Amino acid sequence: MKSISVNNITKKFGEVTALNNISLDVEDGEIFGLIGPDGAGKTTLIRILTTLILPDSGNASVTGLDVVKNYKKLRGLVGYMPGKFSLYLDLTVEENMKLFATIFGTTIKENYELVKDIYSQIEPFKNRQAGQLSGGMKQKLALSCALIHKPKVLFLDEPTTGVDPVSRKELWDMLKKLKKEGITIFVSTAYMDEASLCDRVALIQLGKILEIDPVDKIISNFSKQLISLTSDNTHKLINDLKQYPLTHNVYPFGDSVHYIEDCKEINREELIKFLMSRNTINLKISDRKPDIEDCFIDLMGKADGK
């Protein structure tokens, strides 16, 4: 059974198309990642799937229930952790937990085992107001509140944005444990390195789905040769490479430059000869295996018709 099914969903805000006729399916018990930069449409899709806004066209279902027609019943079956901390800042940790448990007709005790690994880390601070918690502790509290009614599907909207690396790792460890409990997890993120932590991902940009597959398969579909270059002047190197007739794509990547040609195999001698004619200093070239970020950039280019 499909835990989530999205069919030709479109959503506009005025002249801006946030989602452009997108479709995807998520299997039961899967960790599914929606990967893309800010403004790609991730939050809009999650808000539609959690019944907070309506699509302009198309339809979607979660746990077999239509997100528009069955929104009341569906709200009791999903957990939602928005990107911005939205709990009650003037209530204590315990008061927030009790409030959310009461809203869903349950108690902390009833589902404590499900949230134990998470909540136990902040329980020593149960009398502290939520507004006085650190970023990582706020994240754990928000996740505990989203899980307290034992949802069938958990939606997390950019849960690791602005969170320290240790808390990021802890969160993903928790998500793997929740998966073992049979909970389907739909998580959005702008961090490409988190894509590999998902069973499958949908790469999204400007409201369009670029590709849906496991990360390994997306990377294996990258058919061009990729090399990494460095020089004394990265900005000049990029501009020079853009002038090279065979250039397919060139972009900064950390302290280096990633380069792809239209040809399947790069003629290094000709490329070096060209760059030397442009007075490139301390040029270094090395082979580079593509990662998910390289694939995303390449897919963006294809979507733009490049």
d(CA 289, CA 285): 13
Shared-domain flag, residues 141 and 19? yes
Does 294 reside within a domain? no
pLDDT on residue 161: 82
pLDDT on residue 264: 77
Of 184, 216, 248, the residue that ends a domain is 216
Taking the C-alpha atoms of 235, 238, 243 and 244 in order, what is their torsion angle to the nearest 10 degrees?
140
The most distant pair of C-alpha atoms in the chain lies apart, rounded to whole Å, by 73
Shared-domain flag, residues 284 and 154? no
Q: Token pair for residue 201?
A: 């991902």
Shared-domain flag, residues 80 and 20? yes
Shared-domain flag, residues 205 and 228? no
Does 300 reside within a domain? no
pLDDT on residue 165: 85
pLDDT on residue 139: 87
Shared-domain flag, residues 193 and 236? no
Of 216, 235, 260, the residue that ends a domain is 216
Whether the CA torsion 147, 40, 6, 59 is positive or negative: it is: positive
d(CA 3, CA 295): 27
Of 216, 232, 250, the residue that ends a domain is 216
Query: Tens of pLDDT along the chain (306 residues)?
Result: 799 999 999 999 999 999 999 999 999 999 999 999 999 999 999 999 999 999 999 999 999 999 999 999 999 999 999 988 889 999 999 999 999 999 999 998 888 888 888 888 899 999 999 999 988 888 889 999 999 999 999 999 999 887 778 888 888 988 999 999 899 999 999 999 899 999 999 999 999 999 999 999 999 999 889 999 999 999 999 999 999 999 999 999 989 999 999 887 899 999 999 999 999 999 999 999 999 999 999 898 776 655
Shared-domain flag, residues 37 and 160? yes
What CATH number did the domain enclosing 246 receive?
3.30.70.100
CB 19 within 8 A of CB 202: no
Residue-range definition of the domain harbouring residue 262: 223-289
Shared-domain flag, residues 177 and 236? no
Shared-domain flag, residues 172 and 263? no
Shared-domain flag, residues 15 and 150? yes
d(CA 49, CA 60): 7
Taking the C-alpha atoms of 249, 252, 257 and 259 in order, what is their torsion angle to the nearest 10 degrees?
-10
d(CA 73, CA 66): 10
CB 28 within 8 A of CB 1: yes
Does 32 reside within a domain? yes
Shared-domain flag, residues 167 and 234? no
What CATH number did the domain enclosing 203 receive?
3.40.50.300
CB 29 within 8 A of CB 182: yes
pLDDT on residue 303: 65
**Count of domains observed in the chain:** 2
Does 299 reside within a domain? no
Shared-domain flag, residues 25 and 71? yes
d(CA 70, CA 67): 6
